[in-house]
A and B are shown apart, each in its own frame.
Chain A
Amino acid sequence: QSVLTQPPSASGTPGQRVTISCSGRSSNIGNNTVSWYQHLPGTAPKLLIYSNDERPSGVPDRFSGSKSGTSASLAISGLQSEDEANYYCAAWDDSLNGPVFGGGTKLTVL
């Protein structure tokens, strides 16, 4: 059971916009910043969003993040086939004194 809650799956057609939610509590998302990662099994996870809504250089602006209270969201617009992957949210947890992750959302591009 992951500390942060994400839907196990999401899907969309090419060109569509999809959002992935991430729910936590005051000790993690409520009091700290959120990051998002894209991961394909067998590869290195890739940082997509940090500090709630900042994109590292090289990440397309199709990816955007937001946070409100104890929840956060990742939005992907103009969906492409190469976006098919697992997506994880993360935040520091003050109670556990370490970073915590969501259970991951498997995105399928139909």
Chain B
Amino acid sequence: EVQLVESGGGVVRPGGSLRLSCAASGFTFDDYAMSWVRQVPGKGLEWVSNINWNGSKTGYADSVKGRFTISRDTAKDSLYLQMNSLRAEDTAFYHCARGESWGIPSYFDHWGQGILVTVSS
């Protein structure tokens, strides 16, 4: 069974940093591209970033470009999101999601439950 479990969320002050992790199991991690998608409470889903199967290609939403960095560790079957210079508008539930293949995702076939990040003074 495919499982994606996020961790590392919490409360951080504006301008601060946080690193999210996503532990993957139940599939061959380096066969798939991975992404982060967030949801502001009460609002819709917003794509944040993606990374291809071997980490050689990454993409970011304009709203986080230059502040967030996505990475992956095949040895640990884990996906990461380093978030710097956090803003109040980054407050959201962050979901880890698996792309349907190794490259640019056309859709996300498995998702994690999400982890809450709150940016507040």
Residue in B4, B60, B106 whose beta carbon sits within 8 Å of that of A35 in the complex = B106
Q: What mask results when residues 39 to 52 of chain B are scored 1 for a CB within 8 Å of chain A, else 0?
A: 00101111100100
Interface size on B, residues (CB 8 A): 28
B44 and A103 contact, CB distance less than 8 A: yes
Interface size on A, residues (CB 8 A): 28
Query: Which residues of chain B are within 8 angstroms of A104 by Cβ–Cβ distance?
Result: 44-45
Given contacts A45-B95, A98-B61, A101-B46, contact A32 B106 (CB under 8 A): yes
Residue in A56, A88, A92, A100 whose beta carbon sits within 8 Å of that of B106 in the complex = A92
B104 sits at the interface (CB 8 A): yes
- Interface locus among B68-76, B79-87, B107-115: B107-115
Query: Which residues of chain B are within 8 angstroms of A46 by Cβ–Cβ distance?
Result: 111
The distance in angstroms between the C-alpha atoms of A51 and B44, with both chains bound, is: 21
B104 and A92 contact, CB distance less than 8 A: yes
Q: What mask results when residues 23 to 50 of chain A are scored 1 for a CB within 8 Å of chain B, else 0?
A: 0000000001101010101111111001
B44 and A33 contact, CB distance less than 8 A: no
The distance in angstroms between the C-alpha atoms of A39 and B62, with both chains bound, is: 25
Query: Which residues of chain B are within 8 angstroms of A97 by Cβ–Cβ distance?
Result: 59
The distance in angstroms between the C-alpha atoms of A99 and B59, with both chains bound, is: 10
B contact residues vs A (CB 8 Å cutoff):
4, 35, 37, 41, 43-47, 50, 59-62, 95, 97, 100, 104-114
A contact residues vs B (CB 8 Å cutoff):
2, 32-33, 35, 37, 39, 41-47, 50-51, 56, 88, 90, 92, 96-104
Given contacts A37-B108, A47-B108, A50-B109, 5 further A-B contacts (CB under 8 A): A33-B107, A47-B107, A47-B109, A47-B111, A96-B61
